[in-house]
Amino acid sequence: MTNSLKRIFSVLLCLIMTFGVFSIAVSAEDKTDWYKIGGTVELGSYPQTRVTDATLIEQLDKIGKTWVSYGYYSGGTDIGTMVASDYMKFCDFYSGTVKYRAVTFSQYRPTSTDFQATADKSNQDENGYYVDKVYYFRYEPIKWRIIDIFTEDDGDRCATLISENILDAQAFTNEVHGNKETNYYLYYRDPTTNALKEAFANNYYYSSIRDWLQKNFYPTSSLNSDPKMLRQDNLENIDYSVNHSEYNSLPSNDYVTLLSYKDALNTVHGFISDPNRGDDAKATTGTDYAKCQGLEINHADYEGNSFWRLRSAGDYSFTACNIRSNGSTDFNSDVRHTDAGIRPVIKYNFDYTPEPDPSPISNATLSINDGRTVNYGHRVKVVASASHLETFFHVEIIDETGKIVARGASGASSVEFVTSHLTQGARYKARVATSRGIVAVDAEGHQIQTDYCVISIKNNFWTRLVYRFWMFMEKYLKINWPGDPVVI
C-alpha cells in the first residue's frame, strides 16, 4: 500500500471513530422496514408467460394430457340464451420441475356470455390465439403490490395486496336474465331452503366472479396451501353511489376478493382520489395467459393496457364498476363481458408461522452450515430450493424467541440480509417454511434432524470498525461494499 493510500485510510478511520453515528443500530420496530406500502412481494403462482420456444413446445406436445373444461359460456342474440359448454379446455402438468398450463379451444370465447362463439365476437384471435391449437403457459410466482399495512386485533401484522398485473379475464355474472323494463337479474340458490331466487345481475355477493375467485383462482394459485398465510376479509359490498342503494349486496368474508370503488380512490393505497382522472398507479397490463382468455387490450392512447373489474355495482342492474386502461373509473361496465381483467386482492399475514409436518417435501434443500459465524455488518444470503412451484415455500430468518426478522418471497430461492440489522452477538435460525411445515435436507438429500442452523454474529471492535468504514465509503464516496454476500 502506498504512503498516500495509507494516509487516506488513516484519516477515514479517524473520521469514522470520531463520528460513530455512522454505525447502524436497528430497533425491533425498525425491522418492519423490509415491507412498505408500494412495495411488492411474491406469493403463490399462476399461469402467466406463454411458451414460445419451438423445441420446448415440441417436448411439451409429447406429454400426455387430461383436458378439463373451463365451462365457459356463449349464447345467441338474446338475454338469457347463454349456456356453458366445453369449447375451451385446459390441462395442468409438469415437465421436470416446471409446472405448465396447456390451453386449447375449438370455438372462440365471445366477449359477452350471451354472444355467439365466433371470431368477430372475440378478442382471442386479435391477441394472437386461434382455434384448434394448443398453447402453453408457465406457472410463475405472482407479484403483489402492497397497498395497505395494518395490525390486527391479535397483534399480527397484515397487509392488503393486489396483483401487480391482470392475471385473468372473466365476466362479473355469467348468467343474466330479464330486460331493460324489468331490470336484469341473476339466479341463486338460497343456502337454507335451496330455493331458486333472484338478485340484481350486479350483486357481488351472488356473482359468478366471487364464486370463481374462491373456487378457481384461490386453489389454482396455491394460496390455499397454508390457511394461516391469508386472512379472511369481512368487506361491505355497496354500490359506488348512495343514489343506487338498491344495488347494495350482502357483506362478504373471503380469502380473495376484488377492490371496491372506494378502495380504488383511496390515497392511502397510492391512488388518485378523482375517479375521472387517469391514474398510472391503477393502469396496468395483462399477462399472456389473460390475453389467451380473451382480455381486451387498448391499441390506442394507452397501448397495451387493459381495463379491470371492481366489485362495486354501477348505475344499472346489469353494470358494475371497473378501472379503464388509463386508470380512470368506469361506472357502467356490463357484467356479462368476459374480456374484463381480474386483479385479485388478498389480506396477507406477515406474522404467520406454518404448522410443522415431519414429512419432507421432495427436493427441498436448505444449503446452510450448522454453527456458521458471520462478521458483524456482512451481508448474508440464505439459499433454498423446492421442486414444485405450487408448493408454497420461502426462506425465513428467525431469532431465538421465534420472531421472524427476515423473509424471502414465496417461491424465491434465497433471502438476503445484513447482520448489522440484527441484534449484536445474538444467534439466528435459518429455515425453509413450506405449506407442509419446516423442511430441511442436506446437499445429498438427507433430511436434517433439526429444522434450523445457527448463524452467530461475530461482534467485536474490529468487525464494527470495518463495517463503519465501508458504510462511510458507500455513503460519501459511493464505493460499494466489496465482494459477494456470505452464502449460508
Helix (H, G, I), strand (E, B) or coil at 137: strand
Say yes or no: 343 and 467 in one domain: no
- Strands 177-179 and 414-418 turn out to be unpaired
Say yes or no: 339 and 456 in one domain: no
Calculate the CA 317 to chain-centre distance.
31
Say yes or no: 392 and 288 in one domain: no
Calculate the CA 434 to chain-centre distance.
17
Eight-state DSSP code of residue 217: I
Say yes or no: 49 and 27 in one domain: no
Name residues of the chain where pLDDT drops below 70. Answer: 1-35, 77, 180, 353-395, 400-402, 407-457, 459, 478-488
Largest CA distance in the chain: 93
CATH label of the domain that carries residue 388: 2.60.40.10
Say yes or no: 126 and 240 in one domain: yes
pTM for this model (two decimals): 0.72
466 burial (CB, 10 Å; 0-12 / 13-18 / 19+) is middle
First to last CA, the chain: 32
Q: Indicate if the alpha-carbon torsion angle 303, 309, 313, 318 is positive or negative.
A: positive
What pLDDT was estimated at residue 296? 97
At 12, which helix (H) or strand (E)?
helix 3-18
Domain end (from 303, 325, 349): 349
Domain end (from 349, 384, 409): 349
Say yes or no: 344 and 467 in one domain: no
Eight-state DSSP code of residue 268: G
| Amino acid letter, residue 154 | D
Note the pLDDT tens digit of each residue in 41-98.
Answer: 888 899 999 999 999 999 999 999 999 999 999 997 677 789 999 999 999 998 887 8
What pLDDT was estimated at residue 92? 94
Residue range(s) defining the domain that contains residue 205: 40-349
What pLDDT was estimated at residue 246? 93
Take residue 295 and report the three cell numbers written for it: 382480455
Contacts of 52 (CB under 8 A, 6+ apart): none
Say yes or no: 480 and 393 in one domain: yes
What pLDDT was estimated at residue 264? 96
Eight-state DSSP code of residue 62: T
Say yes or no: 161 and 235 in one domain: yes
What pLDDT was estimated at residue 350? 78
List beta partners, residue 166. 286
Q: Following DSSP, what letter does each residue of 74-132 receive, concatenated?
A: E--SSTT--EE-SSEEEEEEEETTEEEEEEEESSPPPSBTTS-SSGGG-STTTTT--TT
Say yes or no: 363 and 331 in one domain: no
Say yes or no: 55 and 97 in one domain: yes
Domain end (from 288, 318, 349): 349
What pLDDT was estimated at residue 153? 83
What pLDDT was estimated at residue 414? 62
Number of domains in the chain: 2
Say yes or no: 99 and 21 in one domain: no
What pLDDT was estimated at residue 351? 75
What pLDDT was estimated at residue 461? 74
Question: To which residue does cell 386453489 refer?
Answer: 219
Rounded distance between C-alpha atoms, residue 261 and residue 275, angstroms? 9
Say yes or no: 213 and 339 in one domain: yes
